[in-house]
Amino acid sequence: MRAAAVALASLVLVGGAGGAAEPRFGGTVVIGTPNDEPVCLNIYEGSCFVGLGPDLVVQKVLAGAFEPRPDYTYENDLVDDFSIARDPFTVTYRIRPEARWSDGVPVTARDFVFTFQTVVKDEPLESDWQRIRRIWAVDRKTVRVIFRAPTAGWQGLFDPVLPRHALLGENFSRAWRGTIDNPKTGRPIGSGPFVVQRWDRGKELVLVRNRNWWGPRRPYLDRVVYRWRRDPVPATRSGDVDVINVAGRIDDVAELRRNPALRILDHDLTGAWEHLVFRVRGGGHPALANKLVRRALAYGIDRGAITADLFRGSGLAVPPLQSVLVFRQEPAYRPNWSRYRSRPAEANRLLEQAGCPRGADGIRVCEDGGRMRLRFVTSVGNLRRERVARLVQQQLLPLGIEIVPEFATQRVFLGAGGLLPRGDFDIALFAFVRGAVNNDGTEFLCGGRANFGGYCSRLVNRELQQLPLVLDPELRARVLNEADRKLVLDVPVLPIYQSPNVVVVRRTVRGVVMHGFSGRVSYKAEDWWLDTSR
């Protein structure tokens, strides 16, 4: 399971010329998603996640306490108001009086308590859910939560809230495999603007308007349909989809721009950051345990040339990412990693200093690791990552470093017991996906589940362990950047870029907004409407 903690920087409205048309009710909009179809729709069940998993669907069906905005903040959703007390850190949620489930049952404090009791059992010890010491219903519409310590990510919890009256006594791990319903009645259930009507696996998933939604007005659209489409060009040309995120097919943007029936929303950067991870211990090349070697690699890889090559012809400017703890859109962003630009002379000097002279064939041989032949592992079929592997291979060979690309399926690379979890690589290229709000750098914690490189620094660990307790934004920014500067010196990873987000919208669809950080292409879909005057 994952708790949502999301944010983004820009809000772009899609409107018609002159803005004369008025919103109208009715119609269907089809969302195309290039990600794999989810296995099931239980957002708190890890086995349901393939690609983006059920997130895209669930966010329109099940409401949370708060909804993440595209501007790094949260807006109230099920919660009407809240208050915070300290010593101990306590949050009191006041649920909207009008909030109810699609079957008319009110959303109550008991739903919040049930959600916590259901979810916390499967949560890792370091999660914000596990920081809750006690939770209880003060009254029907008020719930109070006492945390073991101040918790910066508290607003990302209870997203979504579960219906107690529908799920109590059910086997939750088996619920919502093919729909989101009340298992006791078999009828659709939700607290959002839409509910699931049907899911034709391999074809489409259909949401219909929640006629009992408690929002300010009923949604404009009758239906929102999801179709899983890898190629946006034929999908949009044929009218098969109306809205699609093409972040994974940036090379198609130029062609899509030429279609007069489409509009390209100005791109933003997502919460997915592509980076290289160096296996610094156990399973990796022994020379990578030496930070001088890792610094040499960082100076030898021309990240600016890589990003320019990857996005040439797309019309998108995607610069190298210069932080591993703060995203470019955040006010706290500092370009701490900008020192690592292409400097072959410095790379050669560091390799010599590390005891890695060139062999007879020009490939370096390190005293503590042998021949510098490094396995570069990444995903097969991801053309951009395959291109990065080839470019890194070309850039490092003149330095006497032989890169051997290895392209693995998602299951072999990332699955349980895969190359990445086992640490069976020298360099790995993949993306972490996270929100900018309340990032806590768990991928760098000693022994952390996401620390695939095996890196461990006592000083960095101490600073990162403070983050969940730091509520003040300015102090949080200082802690993040101080830890980031230490990581710059150790180079356990090398950031490449934040993936750009590009959304293509048929011009008849109005009201779509960018929310690239979270991948919430259906953000505010209750406000979408069809302009039949076009």
Do 121 and 58 share a structural domain? yes
Q: Tell me: the pLDDT tens digits for 170-183?
A: 999 999 999 999 99
Domain limits at 383? 270-499
Residue 1 lies inside a defined structural domain of this protein: no
Do 247 and 129 share a structural domain? yes
| Token pair for 411 | 């299951």
- Domain CATH code at residue 391: 3.10.105.10
Do 111 and 209 share a structural domain? yes
The pLDDT-based confidence of 323 (bands split at 50, 70, 90) is very high
- Domain CATH code at residue 171: 3.40.190.10
Contacts of 321 (CB under 8 A, 6+ apart): 273, 275, 327, 328, 337, 495, 496, 497, 498
Contacts of 127 (CB under 8 A, 6+ apart): 3
The count of domains in the chain is 2
Amino acid of residue 395: Q
Q: Which residue has the higher pLDDT, 214 or 504?
A: 214
Other Cβ atoms closer than 10 A to 198:
13
| Token pair for 244 | 């699609």
Do 209 and 114 share a structural domain? yes
Do 217 and 355 share a structural domain? no
Asked if the model's pLDDT at residue 272 lies above 90, the reply is no
Entry pTM = 0.75
Do 36 and 166 share a structural domain? yes
Q: Tell me: the pLDDT tens digits for 213-232?
A: 999 999 999 999 999 887 88
Q: In 438-527, which ranges are continuous DSSP H helix?
A: 458-466, 473-490
* Residue 485 CB-half CA count within 13 A: 7
Residue 229 lies inside a defined structural domain of this protein: yes
The residue ranges of DSSP E strands in 22-141, in sequence order, are: 28-33, 66-68, 74-76, 79-85, 90-95, 132-139
Average pLDDT, the chain: 88
Q: Tell me: the pLDDT tens digits for 325-335?
A: 988 878 889 99
Residue 5 lies inside a defined structural domain of this protein: no
Task: Tell me 417's DSSP state.
Answer: T
Residue 9 lies inside a defined structural domain of this protein: no
Do 469 and 345 share a structural domain? yes
Spatial distance between the Cα atoms of 493 and 427, rounded to a whole number of angstroms = 9
Asked if the model's pLDDT at residue 468 lies above 80, the reply is no
Do 245 and 315 share a structural domain? no
Do 451 and 344 share a structural domain? yes
Question: What residues does 530 pair with on adjacent strands?
Answer: 509
Do 294 and 186 share a structural domain? no
Spatial distance between the Cα atoms of 452 and 297, rounded to a whole number of angstroms = 18
Residue 2 lies inside a defined structural domain of this protein: no
pLDDT for res 435: 55
Do 339 and 257 share a structural domain? no
Do 188 and 240 share a structural domain? yes
Residue 4 lies inside a defined structural domain of this protein: no
Task: Tell me 50's DSSP state.
Answer: S
Residue 332 lies inside a defined structural domain of this protein: yes
Residue 86 lies inside a defined structural domain of this protein: yes
Using DSSP bridges, classify how beta strands 204-209 and 223-228 pair: parallel, antiparallel or unpaired. Answer: antiparallel
